Structure 1
Amino acid sequence: MLVVWLHWDHKTVHQRGPEALLRSRMDFLLLLPHGQRVVLEVDGSQHFIRDCGRTPDTAKYAAMVGADRELKLREYEVFRFGHDELKLIDDARTLLQQFLPDLFRRFRVNSS
């Protein structure tokens, strides 16, 4: 059995305040058989730029990869997708139709 947990917060940054988003960690969490936990992240430019501009923010990037390390030490597998990979529906479908069967094979998830 495959269990997928998805959290979506419909409130805006203005409503919650920017600090609230610091606690938002996973885009998707797949709870697979045998206690396997897989995190899927979709990253836009907010993960590596400063002030909605074009200036790279190495501190933001370092915090993101640091959080990935922490998850991996707690036995989560983390897979990241760039926003542009999933922006167009046909591109997203092609990518996910290849990725998901490969992911399920790796973690020995069968369709029965």
Structure 2
Amino acid sequence: MDFLLLLPHGQRIVLEVDGSQHYTRDHGWTPDTSKYAEMMAGDRDLKLRDYEVFRFGHDELRNENAAHALLEQFLPELFQRYRVVT
């Protein structure tokens, strides 16, 4: 997991940033469905243990301005959903 947010009332949020290493082999050249399946199994395991998982693609966060805009929208919505006062 890339980031773990421990919120009030025992709420646990996992933020993942996925680059091509999560679903390819040969340094990003060949799709690898077994790596992808392993990642999905990990998500299911976390969810069964009451973690909420949110994934971002590496390309969404590559550009600093675009990443800032995305997170400015996402984080307040996330905190509103879990009723975290900011």
TM-score for the superposition, normalised by structure 2 = 0.98
Please give the alpha-carbon distance, in whole angstroms, between the structure 2 residues aligned to 1:53 and 1:100.
30
Matched, 1:58 2:48: no
Q: Which residue of 2 aligns with 1:18?
A: none
The structure in which a higher percent of residues are helix is 2
Which has the higher relative contact order, 1 or 2, with Cα contacts under 8 A spaced 6 or more apart? 2
- Misfit runs of 4+, over 6 Å: none
Matched, 1:27 2:15: no
Deviation at 1:53, TM superposition (A): 3.6
Please give the alpha-carbon distance, in whole angstroms, between the structure 2 residues aligned to 1:59 and 1:107.
33
Partner letter of residue 84 of structure 1? D
Deviation at 1:50, TM superposition (A): 1.1
Q: Give the aligned length.
A: 86
Residue by residue over 1:19-62, the C-alpha shift from the partner in whole angstroms, topping out at 9 and shown as x without a partner, is xxxxxxx1000000000000000000000011214211000000
Please give the alpha-carbon distance, in whole angstroms, between the structure 2 residues aligned to 1:96 and 1:46.
23
Gaps of 5+ in 1: 1-25
Please give the alpha-carbon distance, in whole angstroms, between the structure 2 residues aligned to 1:75 and 1:68.
11
Please give the alpha-carbon distance, in whole angstroms, between the structure 1 residues aligned to 2:18 and 2:69.
18
Helix, strand or coil at the partner of 1:99 = helix
Percent identical among aligned pairs is 71
Rg (Cα) greater in structure: 1
Matched, 1:68 2:37: no
Counterpart of 2:17 (choices 23, 31, 42) is 42
Please give the alpha-carbon distance, in whole angstroms, between the structure 1 residues aligned to 2:28 and 2:16.
22
Please give the alpha-carbon distance, in whole angstroms, between the structure 1 residues aligned to 2:75 and 2:51.
17
Please give the root-mean-square deviation of Cα atoms over the aligned residues, in Å.
0.6
